[in-house]
Amino acid sequence: MATVTLTNVAKRFGAFEVVHGANIDIADGEFVVFVGPSGCGKSTLLRMIAGLEDISGGEIAIGGKVVNDVEPADRGIAMVFQSYALYPHMSVEQNLSFGLRMTGNPKADTERRVKRAAEILRISELMERRPKKLSGGQRQRVAIGRAIVREPQVFLFDEPLSNLDAELRVQMRVEISRLHKELGATMVYVTHDQTEAMTLADRIVVLRAGHIEQIGRPLELYDNPDNIFVAGFVGSPK
């Protein structure tokens, strides 16, 4: 578990500023959801926390340590994307263990981590299967499993469920909620889905065109939206 702190974080692509001085304080073990329309900067913010994108201004700290110049692999984070490219020629077990094997993690520890992730995600009976023999939901579980085996302090999710059909989305939402309770890790979750945001979040960050419109608990935002935009996004009747 770790805190994640963004102080005046900005991002420019050339002359175009897509994130304008964002300030966000995420507590140890908190589940924070970034919501907002397409193009408002959700993925860019997440990618800056992950270190996949340089920041143009400000500071990002994880666990109290400024990570602006720290490589993604050394930030204690793991990211889950919407397109979960599993290795097609590898079994589930190999997909889960590959990253750890590549970094020379001891074999017994790798086996322990893979076994634990499989149990948490209830995919232990699928370990010998190839991805093409899995359902969409099972594949997404394996993708989340690849993040779990890294035992990160912070999980970053970028619209992980948007490729799943409606029924599976509901099921996986419940799974992710359970995962958060079980692991106690800090989670930062990006979605444009209002229901996902309202049901998963301890706190929601509402973004609009690179600005934070409001940060609050789901019911706070619902009951007291600062403006019509926030009201629209959290579905309050105002």
Return all residues near 15 (Cβ < 8 A) that are at least 6 apart. none
Question: What backbone torsions phi and psi does residue 201 show, to the nearest 5 degrees?
Answer: -80, 140
Site for ligand ADP in 24-63 (CB under 6 A): 36, 38-44
- Please provide the distance, in angstroms rounded to a whole number, between the alpha carbons at the two ends of the chain: 37
Residue 15 touching ligand ADP (CB under 6 A): no
CB of 44 to Mg ion, least distance (A): 8
Give the total of residues touching ligand ADP (CB under 6 A): 10
Give min distance, CB of 132 to ligand ADP, in A.
29
Q: Which does 205 bind (CB under 5 to 8 A by kind): Mg ion, ligand ADP, none?
A: none
CA distance 238 to 234: 10
Distance CA 122, CA 119 (A): 5
CB of 38 or CB of 132, closer to Mg ion: 38
Chosen from Mg ion, ligand ADP, none, partner binding at 40 (C-beta under 5 to 8 Å by type): ligand ADP
95 binds Mg ion (CB under 5 A): no
User: Given the complex with ligand ADP, which of 16 and 74 has the nearer CB atom?
Assistant: 16
CB of 237 vs ligand ADP, minimal distance in Å: 26
Least distance from ligand ADP to the Cβ atom of residue 126, Å: 31
Dihedral angle at the C-alpha atoms of 95, 100, 103, 109, nearest 10 degrees? Answer: -150
Choosing from 3, 5, 43, 95, the residue that interacts with Mg ion (CB under 5 A) is 43
Residues of this chain that interact with ligand ADP (CB under 6 A) are 13, 18, 36, 38-44
